[in-house]
Structure 1
Amino acid sequence: MLVSAVVKNELNWLKDAYTWSNVQCCVHNLIVGKLWMEQVGTMEICSHASGQRAQLTFKQAGSNGKDLHRVEGFIFDKQKHKQFFLYGKWTEFLKCTDNNSYEEYLKENGSKHHSCNSKSSKSPNDSPSHTSKKVLQKLNSLKLSSFKSMSVAESMDDPTEIPEVSVPRSDSAYSIDIPNSTLIWKVNPRPQHSSDYYQFTEFAMSLNELETDMEKTLCPTDSRLRPDIRKLEQGDIDGAAIEKTRLEEKQRAANKNMKTKKIEWKPRWFDQGINPYNKQEDWIFNGKYWGRQYTDPEIF
């Protein structure tokens, strides 16, 4: 899965803006085996005030899982000179060291560590999303009945093309710790009983929370106000299911009415225009949301 949109984060207090694009999200074992995912590819983060940019490589797990979730790359100055080396796991931590310390480490431990700029590194095009045409043709030619009448091994001519069925484990023994490194980010531990709630983080668990007096300032169409969401938060699963069905039917009726009357929907809080940073067409926030002058349709 590839999300091609450019993400923008404006920091007014720094008078700076950062833009970046997401890497590929590869989901494995869609047909057979336990589902697992990894992020693969190259991400470039640009500071538009300083001209600095970070180029990070999200590594592919590989057959032995040694590089599962590993990410590394460099921060470059405006003249494209390397300043810092970043490394770690996007699921655990991220460290940073100056480029001189990295070069010294590389001289002493070159055989143990292959950086993202070495010739042996895999290109993002080597990721699972770039499966060979031969394999894709075989998968497309298979029908549902084929899976009922034969095993996975029988459905493939070449044993090496059997879909992966196991989840690789990251090799914790393969770890680097470069001198003069600084820990710049570490994942927060999961809350207690997270395993009972789809492994949600504390942030994910709090997304639907309504604090005191929040309803007075929220836009009436805010998803936290959905009746089915409120019932889920209260533990009323059956009531939430009923509300969800009602809302879906109401939405279908509203869409049908708009098509019949040829009503064209116009976004309220965003206008289409040219992104000032990458000069591409984009949806630009118009700031009207903060006026709190809501005349929204009653969608719930």
Structure 2
Amino acid sequence: RPLTLANVNGKVIVIFPVDQLIPLSLSLLPASVKTPTPTPAGDTYKGWVFKWTNYIKGYQRRWFVLSNGLLSYYRTQAEMGHTCRGTINLATATIAVDDACNFVISNGGAQTYHLKASCEVERQRWITALELAKAKAARMQAESDDSGDDFSPSSASVPPGQGGGTQNSEVQSTLRTLGSKVEDLSTCNDLISKHGSALQRSLSELDSLRLTGEAGDKIRQVTERATLFRITSNAMINACRDFLALAQAHSKRWQKALQAEREQRVRLEETLEQLAKQHNHLERAFRGAAQANTAADSKGKSLSKGEASDEDDDNEFFDAMEEAPEFITVPSYVPCYKPNYSLNLWSIMKNCIGKELSKIPMPVNFNEPISMLQRLSEDLEYHELLDKAAKCQNSLEQLCYVAAFSVSSYSTTVHRTGKPFNPLLGETYELDRRRESGYRSLCEQVSHHPPAAAHHVISDRGWTLRQEITVASKFRGKYLSIMPLGTIHAIFEKGNNHYTWKKVTTTVHNIIVGKLWIDQSGEIDVVNHTTGDRCHLKFVPYSYFSRDVARKVTGVVMDKDGKAHYVLSGTWDEKMEFSRVMQSSRGGENGTEGKQKTVYQTLKAREVWRRNPLPEGAETIYFFTDLALTLNEPEEGVAPTDSRRRPDQRLMEDGRWDEANVEKQRLEEKQRSVRREREREAASQRTSSQSEEGAPHDNYKALWFERCEDRITGEQVHIYKGGYWEAKERGSWEACPDIF
């Protein structure tokens, strides 16, 4: 509906409002801009063809796919979704016929396929399809060379399985969208220029009429505004033209770079998988040789720890079970038996190489039915070591017990290849063992990125334990590294001794092939900040070529002057002993890295810690200890944010894995939605004077812990501010967020 319709000197003047001109202009867009042209079905050709492999195997049957000018092959049809064995771009390839059934495709470089069809008719079908695809690919490449625009869907396509499934489809979808938007921008650019010129001509004609009075003033006012608008529009049009020229000039280069990255990634994945298999075979061969040598050297003796028989590969790297004690207490509540649920770990992990795993959503199939907060609470498995340390009169002997406690927390991990659930922000876990063991423990997830959990334990037997742990994890191809960051504090009332230490790196081996196994490695210092005493502990990484016992841990307790008083030795999965040093001297032989060895003369060793035996049938219940079996048992009166109330974790424990996965996705999306809302509120409230470097992205504050600077380490940490146990006694949980 026109805004104005007038007849001036025989000319009809029609003025439309802007909101009607825009849809009118868009209605003139060509159909190719509105709706991208789909790829014709005839451009894809698939079938079985025999491919020459080598002189030993000769021709082997392979599944070939011709699509969008690319010829790719796979060993089977099932491989199309994940593993492409090779690809040739037909745009630059030559196609030659050998005889009735044979033909050769080569790109002039290292890629040459010698192929054989099942019959002459089938060969001719392939030749026809290949020639048509080659002609189309060459034509598109020529057009791309002329225009520089390589954003079309066909030129961006790659064969199935080359580039990583969902990630590849997302890239292709993005490229198609960008291509469509660039075309829309080009069309709108032309329309703005065309309509702007027409509008200016019409206004100039109006101005030439030399109307007087109010109409003339209005026309002059409109003309002035139109002139200003045209100046601004011309600037935008010029910027759009420059953008289009730049995008068109560089798009082809970007496409080629992206294609090269995809191809290199596929080659690296295949090489990595092959190397892992070869490594696994070498490991088995070496263990077999080591076993034979051991049997020959010490006939009738059992295998040393860490060695394994080739006939029973399931037992590699693990110790035999200790003999069960006379009485074993098994809790009445145990989790659901772990189902034999097959899952291709490599199919998921291959896309995570070098990435931070905490940001990658994982199905519950990799989990065990407890959260990271509950796993952190398992550090208290051997709390009696701290009870004994609290009774010590000598701070150096007390340090031995604290060091043994720092080692004991790893004993529960030896078989635990399952991943604990990542806690939701604000999730808590309480472990009240005051009546039985004299302590109360509280954990809270205080940060999501990076994920961090704060832990506080208070004991009636004279000690306090606190820590804030952030876990960084990286997948390195054959193994997974888990690096806990943060400091652990143990404070004793007697003597006011304050100890700190950090955790070592956990490595999960055989991610691709073989049996998963866990190792702990690194060095830590347990420091008494009150006296200056310290214990240097070394977790020796496992090596097939070492004669040392597997999972070995050694340590030396020294006073503030560096004099050694105790030597610790043992393994992180079985036991630790300590011996009093009577005399020390420098050895004549050089140790590792050219350092002299120190020889300690000690008294007879005393056992300070020994691992508790696992419950019967532990392999069917995630290798949980007696304590771990009770961690998820429902309890009355806990906070609504407690891990025991987490629905996806409970569903998994009940064996309903599919429902657990759905529930896990719901909880994660709910958490993301709440975080986005919190960030919006923080952005609206934050001013330049309030912003600080390193400040959190949102205004989230933990409920039971307060962020402050640690007076011992100087780190920014969360320390328990109190109130949880009082709230539990009152049954008052109004301050708890709704996270489940």
TM over 0.5: yes
| Larger CA deviation: 181-190 vs 24-33 | 24-33
Secondary structure at the counterpart of residue 54 of structure 1: strand
Aligned: 1:87 with 2:591: no
Q: Partners in 2 of 1:94 and 1:184 — Cα distance? A: 6
**Aligned CA distance change for structure 1 residues 73 and 30 (closer, same or farther; 3 Å):** same
1:55 aligns with 2:515: no
Instruction: Tell me the distance in 2 between the aligned counterparts of 1:26 and 1:227.
Output: 30
In structure 2, what is the Cα distance between the partners aligned to 1:59 and 1:271? 37
Tell me which residue corresponds to 1:99.
Answer: 581
Alpha-carbon distance in structure 1 between the residues aligned to 2:576 and 2:617: 26
Structure 1 residue 84: Cα displacement:
0.2
Q: Is the 8 A contact 2:582 2:603 kept in 1?
A: no
- Compare 91-100 and 233-242 and name the one that shifted more: 233-242
Matching residue within 600, 614, 625 for 1:201: 625
Q: Is the 8 A contact 1:208 1:233 kept in 2?
A: no
Is 1:273 equivalent to 2:694 in the alignment? no
Match of 2:611 in 1: 187
**Per-residue deviation, 1:223:** 1.1
1:248 aligns with 2:668: yes
| Distance in 1, Cα, partners of 2:659 & 2:524 | 43
Change (3 A) 1:260 1:281: closer
Letter in 2 for 1:46: V
**For the Cα contact (< 8 Å) 2:703–2:736, is it kept in 1?**
no
Q: Is the 8 A contact 2:581 2:603 kept in 1?
A: no
Quick one: distance in 1 between partners of 2:511 and 2:662?
A: 30
1:41/1:59 contact within 8 Å kept: yes
Q: Which amino acid aligns with 2:706?
A: D
Q: 1:4 to 1:227 in 2, by over 3 A?
A: closer
Cα distance in structure 1, aligned partners of 2:507 and 2:657: 32
Cα shift readout 1:2-31 (whole Å, capped 9, x = no counterpart): 333111123346633221011222333444
Once residues 122 and 99 of structure 1 are traced to their aligned partners in structure 2, the CA distance between those partners, rounded to angstroms, is 25
In the superposition, the TM-score normalised over structure 1's length comes to 0.66
Distance change in 2, residues 1:200/1:64 (3 Å): farther
Distance in 1 (alpha carbons) for counterparts of 2:530 and 2:652 = 44
- Whether the 8 Å contact between 1:208 and 1:229 is mirrored in structure 2 is no
| Cα pair distance change 1:72/1:17, threshold 3 Å | same
Whole-angstrom CA distance in 1 between matches of 2:658 and 2:512:
31
Amino acid at match of 2:667: L
Query: More relative contact order in 1 or in 2 (CA 8 Å, sep 6+)?
Result: 1
- Give me the whole-angstrom Cα distance separating, in 2, the residues matched to 1:122 and 1:236: 54
1:147 maps to which residue?
Answer: none
| 1:60–1:240 CA distance, 2 compared to 1 (3 A) | closer
Distance 1:246 1:4, change over 3 A: closer
Matching of residues 105-184 of structure 1 within 5 Å: 119-121=590-592, 180-184=604-608
Give the partner amino acid of 2:576: L
Q: In 2, Cα distance between the equivalents of 1:185 and 1:73? A: 14
Report the aligned-residue RMSD. 3.0
Q: Mark the CA change 1:14 to 1:237 in structure 2 (over 3 Å): closer, same or farther.
A: farther
Which residue identity lines up with residue 485 of structure 2 in the other structure? Answer: S
Structure with larger Rg: 2
In structure 1, distance between residues paired with 2:516 and 2:652: 26
Deviation readout 1:167-221 (Å, 9 max, x if unpaired): xxxxxxxxxxx751110000111111111122222222222123xxx432x2221
C-alpha displacement of 1:35? 3.3
For residues 213-271 of structure 1, give each alpha carbon's deviation from its aligned partner in whole angstroms, at most 9, with x where no partner exists: x432x222111111233344455555544533432333233233334444621122222
- Alignment partner, residue 221 of structure 1: 641
Q: Work out whether 1:72 is the aligned partner of 2:507.
A: no
Residue pair 2:580, 2:603 contacting (<8 A) in 1 also: no
Change beyond 3 A, Cα 1:121–1:287 = farther
Q: CA 1:232–1:60 in structure 2 vs 1: closer, same or farther (change >3 Å)?
A: closer
Cα offset, 1:82, TM superposition: 0.5
TM-score normalised to structure 2 length: 0.29
Deviates more, 1:67-76 or 1:41-50: 41-50
1:143 aligns with: none
- In the alignment, structure 1 segments of 5+ residues that lack a partner are 112-117, 124-177
Structure 2 gap ranges (5+)? 1-480, 595-601, 683-697
Q: Which amino acid aligns with 2:723?
A: K
Could you tell me whether the CA contact under 8 Å between 1:93 and 1:186 is conserved in 2? yes
